[in-house]
Chain A
Amino acid sequence: MSDSRTLAGAKWFEQRSAEWRSAGRRLQDLESGRSARPQDVLEAVRAYPEIARDLALARRAAPTGPLTKYLEGVYLQLHRSLFRPPAAFWRDVRKLFTHDAAAAALELRWHIAAVAALFVACLGAGAWLVSTYPELASLFASEKMIEGVQRGELWTDNLLNVVPSSLLSAQIFTNNIVVSLFALCLGVLYGLGTFYIIAMNGLSIGGIFAFTAQYGVGGRLFAFTAAHGFVELSVVCISGAVGASLGEALARPGDLTRGAAFQHAVARGMRLMVVCLVFLVGAGVLEGFVSPDPRFPLAARFAIGLGYFALFVLVLSGALGRLGRRARAGGA
């Protein structure tokens, strides 16, 4: 290096090191704070290209030297702070319920229809199997459940004497959420894991209903499921549809790479699933408080179940968002 260049380098180092130090210190506030002072942000915006230039010079002089390492750290933090997406949590949540979930449901309508058809077919197959070969009930129900049904008792009878409603609700919705998320995640096996879970659920439910019907308690089981079943089974089908869409993204990525298609499918599916899981919590509450309570007559259970399902459809069809927008436009 010539003397003049060495001198220029030394001058540059002396002049800039104070700036680097102060940028490093300011960044700690920007990184950790939820809100930063405007002058600090403006200072960071001004420093960003300057530090980038300094880093390029330092990298050229000594790619692994201490100055390069230091500037890499400052530059990375500046980049992270400046390009952080704005925090708009509640606005995003509202948009999710009024728009995004409905848009995802619309995109996935054929997947939902296909998985629902598979579910209904398996439901029918399970019912036919147990009606035709009653001994197959042992595939879907435990020995204790079978003995109870043969005595004319349902396992859901006196449920509230064993576990309090609140605890029952929590157990139920936690279990349902895990099952739904499993159905979704197993879509990563090119959709096969999802199909397996949906098919098994359909076969089990169909088989159990047929089995209880044989002993004259099918109506009581139907009454038990009337309040929560519509939404619960719909969410199972939707999670299966999202899982199937993940499998499809891997099998037929189209113009995208498999990774990018998978990411896109997951992001779209999760927008729908978050809303579904919230409804699943509500279904769990109904299953814990309403379904096992003999004080609720069948008509009331139906009214609650259908009303809750109507709200679910309202949200996933985007009608709730349209109503909200219309109301705001009318108010303005």
Chain B
Amino acid sequence: MESIIRIPSVTGVDVELRIAGPGGRSYAFVIDWHIRFLAAAAWFIAGTFAFAGGLRALPPGAANASYGFGVVAPAIVIYFLYHPVLEILLRGQTPGMRMAGVRLVAIADGGAPGIGALLIRNVFRLVDSLPSIYAIGLVATMVTKNAVRIGDIAAGTVLVYDEAPREALLSQLSGRAVERLGLAQAQLVRDVLDRWPQLGSDARYTLAKELLTRAGVGVPRDDAGLKAKLEELVA
């Protein structure tokens, strides 16, 4: 069953947020891990190349402050501060979260979490990552109500699917179709057409017959005819 958080709003109409489970969360994390690992490694390799004139181990004593601060420290910073810095700059999203279609929100109001909350959830990675490969965090996302890790519990944040309004959804409905069928019926026809490729032929026939009969339109026998009639209805 899909988990939803309902945030009360001043209008009396709740804001609904779909919670991202361990799957969506892990997907975003894996993308982010690759980005930060590759970025840190690229910096380290390029820096070492520039510093030592090639990719070779530096002799003891050759690693001075400029190598430490110019090559090693930035690579460490990229790897370890990737999440807090990007979550703050991108208001609760990292590139991996964006690609996975999820974002962090404050559980209290559904808005972007504040800097303090983002820092807290990242500090608690120290616990969530124990004993290794984020075992505690992963188990926590599986057993908690909102699929959150300990850092999220501490910070009052939750990872949800990021559903930006897509105009394509609106374009699927025409005023004429709504006038002809009513809002509910027009959306139902649109929904069946969207799911048409996934439906079996029996289900297609049953659903299309029901919808066409309600609209007072004749029911063709063949599959292509049914689809064409439904498309005519919502055109």
Contacts and interface: CB of A to CB of B under 8 A. Distances in A.
A110 interface: no
B121 to A, nearest CB: 10
Nearest to B160: A76
B131 interface: no
Contacts of B73: 170
A84 B111 contact: yes
A76 B163 contact: yes
Contacts of A263: 153-156
B169 interface: yes
B173 interface: yes
Nearest to A69: B169
B165 interface: yes
Interface string B159-177: 0000111110110110110
B188 interface: yes
Contacts of B17: 76
A5 interface: yes
A267 interface: yes
B15 interface: yes
A55 B183 CA distance: 12
A79 B109 CA distance: 9
Given A17-B175, A64-B191, A66-B170, A52 B110 contact: no
A267 B114 CA distance: 12
B165 A77 contact: yes
Given A21-B170, A67-B183, A259-B153, A267 B69 contact: no
Nearest to B150: A188
Interface string B61-88: 0001100110001000000000000000
A62 interface: yes
Among A67, A69, A270, find the residue whose CB has the most chain B CB atoms closer than 10 A.
A67
A92 B194 CA distance: 49
B188 A62 contact: yes
What bracket does the count of chain A residues touching chain B fall in?
A: 35 or more
A182 B68 CA distance: 25
- Mostly, the B contact residues are helix
Contacts of A48: 11
Contact of B116 (A24, A77, A270): A270
B25 to A, nearest CB: 19
B126 A182 contact: yes
Interface stretch (A7-15, A230-238, A320-328): A7-15
Nearest to A263: B156
Given A89-B115, A170-B73, A185-B123, A13 B153 contact: no
Contact of A167 (B11, B68, B114, B127): B68
A1 B185 contact: yes
Contacts of A290: none
Contacts of A69: 163, 169
Nearest to A79: B15
A108 interface: no
B216 interface: no
A188 B127 contact: yes
A62 B116 contact: no
Interface string B123-167: 110110000000000000000000000100111100000011111
Interface string A260-271: 001100110011
Interface string A17-54: 10011001001000000000000000000001100110
Interface of A: 1, 5-7, 9-10, 13-14, 17, 20-21, 24, 27, 48-49, 52-53, 55-58, 61-62, 64-77, 79-80, 83-85, 89, 92, 164, 166-167, 170, 178, 181-182, 184-186, 188, 259, 262-263, 266-267, 270-271, 274
23 contacts: A1-B185, A17-B170, A21-B170, A48-B11, A52-B11, A52-B12, A53-B11, A61-B182, A61-B187, A65-B183, A66-B187, A67-B169, A67-B183, A67-B187, A70-B165, A72-B16, A77-B164, A89-B115, A170-B68, A188-B127, A263-B154, A270-B116, A271-B116
